Amino acid sequence: MKIVLAYSGGLDTSVLLSWIKERYNATMIAFCADIGQEEELKGLNKKAASTGASKTYIDDLSEEFARDFIFPMIQAGAIYENQYFLGTSIARPLIAKRMVEIARKEGADAIAHGATGKGNDQVRFELTAAALAPELEIIAPWRDAQFRSEFPGRAEMIQYCEDHNIPVEASAKKPYSMDRNLLHISYEAGILEDPWLDASAPAHKAMYKLSVSPEDAPNRSEYVTLDFIKGICIAVNGKKMSPAQIMRALNKLGGKHGIGRVDLVENRFVGMKSRGVYETPGGAILHFAHRQIETLTMDREVMHLRDSLIPKYSELVYYGFWFSPEREALQALVTESQKNVTGTVRLKLYKGNIITAGRRSPVSLYNPHIATMEADPTKAYDQSDATGFIRLNGLRLKVAAQVHGKKGARK
């Protein structure tokens, strides 16, 4: 049996690689996706080999991640439950997609992951595999009772590595778990399981990696411009960049000013609530700027239709249905809605705040001559016409009041 494992080189996946190999008498292929997590990847090939992998893939997927996953999601305006920028959610289908490609290339029988049985990631990995390669078997050790009985805690994992000569640097467990990629860093579990804990307090300052606290941000604001073509950002401060370069530049800029910190209690797909703390400096700026250029260039009814679909689109990403036909259908509508979302937005960043400082577009639908409170030189709008407009829209309200109410009061 040949198995492709999502591998990071840490304690958990090192144990998984060895344990799965023994349990299934399998040939193991380790796969690590570089999606901007900034983790040390040097020596990972050697480490995986010494742990039992016959082959290791370390693939830089940063550009694909930004271009084909983050940016289309930004076009859709997707934010889960009005707070979460979906940083972890959107990364999983890309990782699983690449695992499927490697599995087919290597003639593997299964893919394996280290997601727990309580979280969302297990669903995201496996729904992607179901959509792209239904013939592949899925191995999820944390849902295996034998695995859980052997490893009830971290101490047992460390002991296993010592017994099997697995090279892993075991350190004291952090009081929270962390996941990083090009879009964000998430923090959860441990001390953060208490929703009353103030994660913004100075005592937890060292937790954050991408951003300073708003209190520690510069005392002077900074301006930034973003150029869009068809809803896609193509330049920052007039400099054209690739999608991944744009994310890195905005992360650095937003982090400097304390932008994009979110502390929320969210509803997991598996049914429970969980508390998470997130840093999404670049994503927060991009979302804000994208909405500003839309206000100038999108037709009202198209905008309202797209906005009505944001909760559904966000759910599909969060739940793991990126490769579902319904998400692809929604994306087609989103793409159509973005065909005129072109122009430049100027923002002011200051102590955790993103402030609009201007927007312009060659296809702007805003006409100051029509909107002006002064005399309209275009004569496109006759204020007298509003009388009939209001009368017709108020007709049903008047009829209802006459039927159901007496002296203007309803029973």
Q: Which residues are catalytic?
A: 12, 92, 121, 177
Tell me the two tokens of residue 365. Answer: 């639908």
Say what angle helices 121-132 and 310-319 make with each other, to 10 degrees: 90
DSSP 286: H
Cβ atoms 55, 29 nearer than 8 A: yes
The pairing of strands 232-236 and 353-360 is unpaired
Round to whole Å and give the CA distance between 360 and 130.
44
Round to whole Å and give the CA distance between 24 and 34.
28
Strand order in the sheet with 353-360: 239-240, 232-236, 222-229, 343-350, 353-360
Query: For the residues of 42-68, what is the DSSP string, one character each?
Result: TTHHHHHHHHTEEEEEEEE-HHHHIII
Tell me the two tokens of residue 175. Answer: 């009081």
Query: Which residues, at least 6 apart from 165, have a Cβ–Cβ distance to it below 8 Å?
Result: 50
Round to whole Å and give the CA distance between 141 and 117.
9
